[in-house]
Amino acid sequence: MTKLKITVLKRQDPAEIFDELPVAKKDWMVPCGIYKDGQEYILDSLKMPEGFCGSAWQTIYPTARTLFYGGDLPFFDEKGTAVTCCADGMRPVIFKMERI
């Protein structure tokens, strides 16, 4: 049975991305508090993992589906592996996905 491992590689702080913020600073503009760097999820289905951000899941789901069903992404030499991120432009979370 196919399984996927999703690892949180890095949560970005807006200060790491922008020299000058493109919008007014808000209290929530800090690294995402849903995840911790190094956190792992093991999936044995394509159901969103408990505690996962719904918006992040929608963004990475197409890659998860490709890997889960045996596909590979052409721009990675490592088969069954991808690095992707959520769509939060102010404080993205970078994920590594691996078919195991």
Mind listing the pLDDT tens digit for each residue in 20-64?
999 999 999 999 999 999 999 999 999 999 999 999 999 999 999
Q: What is the mean pLDDT of residues 89-100?
A: 97
- Give yes or no for residue 1 having a pLDDT over 80: no
Q: How is residue 94 written in tokens?
A: 């970078």
pLDDT in tens, 56-87: 999 999 999 999 999 999 999 999 999 999 99
Residue-number span of the structural domain to which 22 is assigned: 4-99
Number of folded domains that form the chain? 1
Q: How is residue 46 written in tokens?
A: 């394509």
Where does 1-100 have alpha helices with state H? Answer: 14-17, 54-68
CB neighbour list of residue 93: distance below 8 Å, 6 or more residues apart: 8, 10, 11, 12, 32, 34, 35, 53, 56, 85, 86
pTM exceeding the 0.75 threshold for the entire prediction: yes
Distance CA 22, CA 74 (A): 33
